[in-house]
Homo-oligomer: A and B are copies of this chain.
């Protein structure tokens, strides 16, 4: 938790940006895994955390701009809570730590909203079923036809997209732990282990540093599957092992890195050749980070490296600029170069990518580019990932080949030799500065040599 002045100033900025109306924020509740009381780990809503700082279930808040008042709605603990959950500061104490003096019982929220019916009520989109139920109960908004406020989304995005120095300190903590998670796994991977044993080590490294996971760990010999959470395979000599994992520190900020390691001690010549293309993509993207450059351009820079490298291997052919424009490279990288990162690992993804990553402008619908979550011109204070990948996805290859897609650019015969290759991704986190990009957190191995040195 930051100083109370941080939260007060964040709320003041938001009030000025919005000008008028009533801003309603729902905190997150506990969610039952098997039954209500056996809850998943508690995670406060990130926007609630950003403006109100308190990480407890059962809270809502109102910033009533027209009546110049900010109210936290929630209930004090009972003796039963104290017996089962321990002594805690009162809600009034917690509120005062984030600069709020007006605390009311949660049951008063619906009356407060009813009394202020004339006002425009702004709220954010519901990404949990519990939020849909609350909007139904509080505002009679039916599930499926709920009405988030675009001006509020825009105002929150404008603010949360620019990270302050105290936020960078927290993100850097998360990135350092994230790097340790990757380095521990890189050292340990061997054909003796199951994927879940590697995943266990990655997650242990987070937990013993008092961190949660910022997202579900990917740790797989099937790196060609982009978000593969199945960890039941035995590692196998000759395969590549792909890790995508990150830490979330107690303040809520995330890290997010990927790395790719040969199960055997060394890369094969074929793996090394593809790995070096991935590295070229990565370095070209990092070198290109600068304020004002649209992230779509950075994506194109990396994808041109991909297509050129594939052409050198004989897998692609023809005019590279044209191939990238047409999206032929996306057979090998169907995802985007990166995304915003902050209190969420895909920052504010619940608001919709067009608002967070595209400043409201439309996004490409082309296969591959449609999965690019960030497109707008970079600004100092943005924190984003750089995570180019190269994958050989048998089902996708068969589909494209069967549909004769991009036959001017893809040499399907040569491609067959790589069918069982797997996938490679490396990922780092960058802060956009006034002059370029600054890596956040310790360095993880990025080149074949750096990886082999740890094996």
Residues B207 and A35 in contact, CB atoms below 8 Å apart? no
Q: Which of A314-322, A345-353, A376-384 contacts B (4 or more CB under 8 A)?
A: A345-353
For A395, list chain B residues within 8 Å (CB): 79, 82-83, 87
| CA distance in complex: A227, B345 (Å) | 29
Tell whether A175 is near chain B: CB-to-CB under 8 Å. no
Q: How far is the CB of A346 from chain B (nearest CB, A)?
A: 7
| CA distance in complex: A41, B34 (Å) | 12
- Of B194, B204, B227, B232, which one neighbours A84 at CB under 8 angstroms? B227
Tell whether A86 is near chain B: CB-to-CB under 8 Å. yes
| CA distance in complex: A32, B210 (Å) | 22
Residues B87 and A32 in contact, CB atoms below 8 Å apart? no
Residues B34 and A344 in contact, CB atoms below 8 Å apart? yes
Q: Which of A94-102, A195-203, A444-452 contacts B (4 or more CB under 8 A)?
A: A195-203
Residues A200 and B196 in contact, CB atoms below 8 Å apart? no
Complex interface bits, A61-93 against B, C-beta within 8 A gives 1, otherwise 0: 000000000000000000100111111000000
Residues B216 and A208 in contact, CB atoms below 8 Å apart? no
Tell whether A226 is near chain B: CB-to-CB under 8 Å. yes
Which of A39, A86, A215 gathers the greatest number of chain B CB atoms within 10 Å?
A86
- Of B137, B200, B227, which one neighbours A85 at CB under 8 angstroms? B227
Q: How far is the CB of A355 from chain B (nearest CB, A)?
A: 13
Residues A41 and B216 in contact, CB atoms below 8 Å apart? yes
Q: Which of A125-133, A290-298, A303-311 contacts B (4 or more CB under 8 A)?
A: A125-133
For A127, list chain B residues within 8 Å (CB): 32, 34-36
Tell whether A334 is near chain B: CB-to-CB under 8 Å. yes
Check A200/B194 contact, CB under 8 A, given A34-B43, A82-B395, A129-B133. no
For A210, list chain B residues within 8 Å (CB): 194, 196, 231-232
Tell whether A2 is near chain B: CB-to-CB under 8 Å. no
Check A40/B34 contact, CB under 8 A, given A79-B396, A199-B207, A201-B208. no
Residues B350 and A128 in contact, CB atoms below 8 Å apart? no
Mark out the residues of chain A between 170 and 227 whose CB falls within 8 Å of any chain B CB in the assembled complex: 194, 196-197, 199-201, 203-204, 207-208, 210, 215-216, 222, 225-227
| CA distance in complex: A38, B132 (Å) | 18
For A230, list chain B residues within 8 Å (CB): 86
Mark out the residues of chain A between 97 and 154 whose CB falls within 8 Å of any chain B CB in the assembled complex: 127-130, 132-133, 136-137, 143
Tell whether A24 is near chain B: CB-to-CB under 8 Å. no
Q: How large is the interface on A (under 10, 10 to 19, 20 to 34, 35 or more residues)?
A: 35 or more
Residues A33 and B38 in contact, CB atoms below 8 Å apart? no
- Of B133, B204, B350, which one neighbours A200 at CB under 8 angstroms? B204
Complex interface bits, A318-348 against B, C-beta within 8 A gives 1, otherwise 0: 0000000000000000100000000111101
For A85, list chain B residues within 8 Å (CB): 225, 227-229
Which of A43, A129, A137, A229 gathers the greatest number of chain B CB atoms within 10 Å?
A129
For A350, list chain B residues within 8 Å (CB): 32, 34-36
Q: How far is the CB of A323 from chain B (nearest CB, A)?
A: 20
| CA distance in complex: A282, B396 (Å) | 59
| CA distance in complex: A85, B143 (Å) | 28
Tell whether A301 is near chain B: CB-to-CB under 8 Å. no
Which B residue sits closest to A43, measured CB to CB? B33
| CA distance in complex: A228, B85 (Å) | 5
Q: How far is the CB of A58 from chain B (nearest CB, A)?
A: 14
Which B residue sits closest to A200, measured CB to CB? B207
For A216, list chain B residues within 8 Å (CB): 38-39, 41
Tell whether A37 is near chain B: CB-to-CB under 8 Å. yes
Tell whether A161 is near chain B: CB-to-CB under 8 Å. no
Tell whether A399 is near chain B: CB-to-CB under 8 Å. yes
Tell whether A393 is near chain B: CB-to-CB under 8 Å. yes
Tell whether A273 is near chain B: CB-to-CB under 8 Å. no
Tell whether A46 is near chain B: CB-to-CB under 8 Å. yes
For A344, list chain B residues within 8 Å (CB): 34-35, 38
What are 20 inter-chain pairs, A to B, with CB distance below 8 A? A32-B127, A33-B215, A34-B46, A34-B344, A34-B349, A35-B346, A36-B349, A36-B350, A82-B396, A83-B226, A83-B395, A85-B225, A85-B227, A86-B228, A129-B130, A129-B132, A200-B204, A201-B204, A201-B208, A203-B204
4 closest Cβ pairs, A-B complex: A200-B207, A129-B129, A86-B225, A35-B350
